[in-house]
Amino acid sequence: MFRKYASWGAIAMLLAVALGAFGAHGLKDKIEANMLAAYETGVQYHIAHALGLIAIGLIADKLGESRTISRAAGFIVAGIILFSGSLYVMAVTGIGKLGIITPFGGVSFLVGWAMVAIAVRKRG
C-alpha cells in the first residue's frame, strides 16, 4: 500500500509546488498582501501534508495497511482540499467568507494525524 499513499503524496506535492510557484510569480503584485499571506499559508500546509502522505505510505509499508491508516490518509487529503484549497480560492477571488471552510480542513488534519497515531500504537 506504500505505492498508493506515496503516489497521493507525490501528486499533492506536485500540485503544491505548482501552486506555490503560481502564487510567488503570478499573484505577488496582483492581490492584497493579507490575501497573499493566506495563499502562502495554504501552500505551506499543502507541502507539509503532501510529505505526510508519503510518510503514511512508509508506515503502511512497514506495518501493513489497516482501515485506520487508510482513513487517516483520506482525512489528510480532505484537509489539503479544505484547508489549503479554501485559502487558495479565497486569496484569488477575494471572497473572505470562504475562510469559514478553512477550519474544517484543520480539523481534518488533526483527525488524520490522530488516526495515524492510533494505527501505529495498535500495531506496535
Residue 50 near residue 12, CB atoms below 8 Å: yes
Number of C-beta neighbours around residue 74 at 10 A: 15
CATH number at residue 21: 1.20.120
Residue 71 near residue 16, CB atoms below 8 Å: no
Domain that holds residue 84: 2-123
Q: Tell me: the pLDDT tens digits for 53-70?
A: 999 999 999 988 789 999
Task: State how far the Cα of 56 lies from the Cα of 108, in Å rounded to an integer.
Answer: 15
Q: What is the pTM of this model?
A: 0.94
Q: Tell me: the pLDDT tens digits for 64-106?
A: 878 999 999 999 999 999 999 999 999 999 999 999 999 999 9
How many domains does one find in the chain?
Answer: 1
